[in-house]
Homo-oligomer: A and B are copies of this chain.
Amino acid sequence: MTTDIDAVLDYVDAQLDASLARLFEFIRIPSISTDPAYADDCRRAAQWLSSQLGDLGFDASVRDTTGHPMVVAHGEAVAGPHVLFYGHYDVQPVDPLALWATPPFEPSLSPQPDGETHILGRGASDDKGQLLTFIEACRAFKAVTGKLPIRISMLFEGEEEAGSPSLGPFLEATAEELRADTILVCDTDMWDRDTPAITTMWRGLVGEEIEITAADRDLHSGMFGNAARNALQVLGTIVGRLRNDDGSVAIPGFYDGVTELPDAIKAQWQRLPFDAEKFLADIGLSIPAGESGRSVLEQIWARPTCEINGMIGGYTGEGFKTVIPAKASAKISFRLVAGQDPARIRESFRAFVSSLVPADCSVRLTAHGTAPAEMMPLDGVLLNQARLALGEEWNREAALAGTGGSIPILGEFKRRLGMDSLLIGFARFDNRIHSPNEKYDLTSFHKGIRSWVRILAAFAQ
């Protein structure tokens, strides 16, 4: 088998330009899932993936849902464990467009002073570049050995950035087809640019939209100002009271069920290199904004948060308009940790909001995505094989990390099918995912493909 791996790795190196060309083709499809205007592009992205996998000999198909379609693919039945690789082909919106140095859907390479090369474009990292590392690893095995090293299925969705509304029902309907020994995911970060990581815990998500209505129309502030309730004042008061002065979330019951980190994790996080000051300085900040007394890593990975994602009301154009807005709205989301019940958090939030709305105003609350938080067991065979394989590629022991983001489907897989997940990603902290000028490092892409080759070979032992 050793000969095989080297030949496969050599193939990966030799074919990097062709792999990159496929990534560029994929990025050029503007598959923004949250904006209905891009629905056709989402379907095109699904078809592109299905066609790529079909070319590799997978039994691949695009499956309709009530939202954007799924892609399901099955490789030939071979010996060894059966893995299900999960990824998402949809991307975040691109606004504010003016801040992009290059057009978001025209990918390009940008050589950097440190010798790294950036792959620029929306989705270059999240998740198109990352998911392709796995597919390109499969391609290399097929090209060199004529077959896949183990039994591999894949599932790609197009609504991850929109809260995955179709995944639950789809999973319910295809549970038998998709059941495998473990799930593999490539949507996470390295610990740092030299240290690979397997992510073992992730936060959950609850999204809510609030719309406050005060008067039945916008009013002149001279004529009505003081006597007429101002919808933005009501909403500002709600938003302003979401956090206490010590950085904690002020909603009653919010921390119910939240436990302290296991000592083993705390100890590993303290050993691993992490510079909290630099982490904040890199984004132009210097003061951790979460609960005082908690480290930055704890705040972002192991403590729940409440974030105002967007807010609008009244006159926001050029100049000034002395209007009392009748309506104001905000998008608010919570990142949860293991132990918190998303449904109860939503309920507590709604009660909190309602208690602050004056009797002659109304509030409309709209639920957006929900995902539970999870923490994976740390003693599995596949987990340890993957750690060793990563160590060989990167010459560093892989870290067991957390992530502050949510990967909604994985909790569903665990609950519905009893499957755990291995989250192995090659992104870096500074990839600007969800922001203008998203990038993926060429090293991430190249060594990411090589890492999967080693991991799949290890699983085949």
Contact = CB atoms under 8 A, between A and B. Distances in A.
Interface in A337-352: none
A223 B320 contact: no
A309 B299 contact: no
Interface string A188-207: 01000000000000010101
Contacts of A247: 226
A310 B315 contact: yes
Contacts of A333: 221, 320, 322
A163 B221 CA distance: 14
A221 B309 contact: yes
B227 A299 contact: yes
A376 interface: no
A183 B175 CA distance: 81
Interface string A272-297: 00000001100111111111000010
A312 B316 contact: yes
B300 A323 contact: no
A404 interface: yes
Interface centre among A217, A225, A315 (most CB of B within 10 A): A225
Nearest to A432: B217
A151 B81 CA distance: 100
Interface stretch (A113-121, A387-395, A433-441, A450-458): A433-441
Interface in A75-111: 92-93, 95-96, 99
A303 interface: yes
A307 interface: yes
A155 interface: no
B434 A308 contact: no
A429 B207 contact: no
What is the size category of the interface that chain A forms with chain B?
35 or more
A305 interface: yes
A309 B243 CA distance: 24
B435 A225 contact: no
A335 interface: yes
Contact of A223 (B238, B241, B311, B404): B404
A62 interface: no
Interface stretch (A6-14, A45-53, A132-140, A229-237): A229-237
A279 B225 CA distance: 13
A229 B289 contact: yes
Contacts of A232: 239, 308-311, 330
Contacts of A241: 240
A331 interface: yes
A320 B309 contact: yes
B321 A205 contact: no
Interface stretch (A20-28, A208-216, A253-261, A412-420): A208-216
Contacts of A313: 308, 310-312
Contacts of A309: 221, 232, 314-315, 320-325
A41 to B, nearest CB: 15
A142 interface: no
Contacts of A330: 232
Interface in A20-58: 33-36
Nearest to A37: B318
Nearest to A326: B284
Interface in A421-461: 429, 432-436
A220 interface: yes
A325 B99 CA distance: 14
Contacts of A239: 232-233, 236-237, 239-240
A170 interface: no
A242 interface: yes
B312 A321 contact: no
B280 A322 contact: no
Given A92-B321, A218-B436, A227-B300, 9 more contacts: A205-B322, A221-B309, A223-B403, A227-B290, A228-B285, A233-B239, A233-B243, A284-B360, A286-B360
12 contacts: A95-B317, A203-B222, A216-B284, A219-B435, A225-B404, A226-B290, A232-B308, A233-B239, A233-B242, A285-B361, A309-B322, A312-B312
- Across the A-B interface, give the 5 residue pairs with the lowest CB-CB distance, nearest first: A240-B240, A222-B405, A236-B239, A34-B319, A216-B284
